[in-house]
Amino acid sequence: MNAITETEFNFAHQTSKYTGKVRDVYTIDDKFIVMIATDRISAFDVVLPKGITHKGQVLNQIASMFLDSTSDIVQNWKIATPDPMVTVGYKCEGLPIEMIVRGYLTGSAWRAYKAGAREICGVKIPDGMRENQKFEHPIITPTTKAEIGTHDEDISKEEIISRGLVSAEDYAKLEEYALALFARGTEIAASRGLILVDTKYEFGKRNGEIYLIDEIHTPDSSRYFYSEGYQERFEKGEPQRQLSKEFVREWLMENGFRGQEGEKVPEMTPERVETISRRYIELYENITGKKFEPAPYGENPYERIENNINAVLARLV
C-alpha cells in the first residue's frame, strides 16, 4: 500500500491550508481546523523523502485517545475524529513556544550534558548524572516554536516572559498544565508497562482561554522506555529499550545524517520503510493496549478521508 504523503482537498467554507512537516491543516470558516496526519515522517526538522504507511493513523489515534483522557486537566482543541487519520477541532491562536517536559536525562539533553552543559533552558542540572537517569522531579525545558524552514531553539522561562512571547500569568498556567499532563501520561504509561520519559506540549488560545493543541503523548512527540529491565539496564550503562521515534534518529545518525546543511539522507529502501512502519504499529499497540486495525485503503483512500471529513463539517458549518 502506498503511503499518503500529501493531500489536496477543497472543503466547503475552507479559508486556508497549511502544510506542516507531517500534517496538512485545513482551516474552515476561520473557526475550525481539519488536521490530517499524513504518512510523512520527519527527523531533525527535515521531512524524509519517503512516507511510512500507517504512521499517520498511528499518531492520530494515539493523540485522540490522550486528548480524551486528559480533557479534565485542560480543555483541548479536539471536536471529533471522523477518520483514523483525521482530527477536526477548534481553531486556536498558537502560542509561540513548546513546553518540553523531561522526566529523565536522555536524548538531546543527555548529549548537551555529556558535552559539559549543566544548565538547559535556565534549568540547572546537577553534576554526576548518568544517561537515562531519572530527575528528582520532572523539569520543563521550553523551546521556541519554529517558523517553516527553521529549527526550534532552546529558551528559558525568563527569556520567554521578558521577550513578551507569553505573559508571566499565562506561563505559570502552562507550567501547571504541562506538569499535570505529564503526570497523567506517566500514570497511563505505567499501566501499560512503560515509562514516559519526555514529551512536548503545545498550547493556544481561543476566546482568551488556554487550550491544549496539536498531538499529545505520541511516539513522535514523546519518548517511552519499557519499565521491565529499566533499572538493570541503567545500572549496567546499557541502552534502554525504547518506544519512540528515536530509533529513526539513531539510524540517520549512524548513516551520517543529523539534519545539517550538506548532509544527505541515507537511502530509504522498501525494507527500511517496512521496518519503520512495523515499529510504529508496535508503538501503537504498546501505548494504547489495543490491537492496531489498519484503516481501509481500498481503491481510493482519499475519497474515504474526504467523505468522513465532510460528514463532520456538515454538522459544524
Instruction: Assign residue 193 the CATH number of its domain.
Output: 3.30.470.20
Gap between the Cα atoms of 108 and 152, Å rounded? 13
Gap between the Cα atoms of 260 and 299, Å rounded? 39
Q: How many domains does the chain have?
A: 1
pLDDT over threshold 60, residue 292: yes
Gap between the Cα atoms of 77 and 33, Å rounded? 9
CA–CA distances in Å: residue 185 to residues 12, 191, 223: 37, 10, 11
Angle at alpha carbon of residue 248, lines to 191 and 106, rounded to 5°:
60
Q: Are 141 and 150 in contact (CB under 8 A)?
A: no
> What is the maximum span of the chain, computed from C-alpha positions, in angstroms?
58
Could you tell me what percent of the chain has a pLDDT over 70? 98
In a domain, 231, yes or no: yes
pLDDT over threshold 90, residue 276: yes
Q: Are 219 and 187 in contact (CB under 8 A)?
A: no
Gap between the Cα atoms of 133 and 67, Å rounded? 28
In a domain, 114, yes or no: yes
In a domain, 265, yes or no: no
In a domain, 162, yes or no: yes
In a domain, 48, yes or no: no
In a domain, 298, yes or no: no
Domain span at 190: 94-244
Name beta bridge partners: 100: 200
Model pTM greater than 0.75? yes
Would you state the cell numbers that stand for residue 305, as one nine-digit string? 478521508
In a domain, 223, yes or no: yes
Gap between the Cα atoms of 21 and 261, Å rounded? 18
pLDDT tens digits, one per residue of 200-242: 999 999 999 999 999 999 988 999 999 999 999 999 999 999 8
pLDDT over threshold 90, residue 269: yes
Angle at alpha carbon of residue 280, lines to 279 and 282, rounded to 5°:
65
SS3 category, 205 = strand
In a domain, 146, yes or no: yes
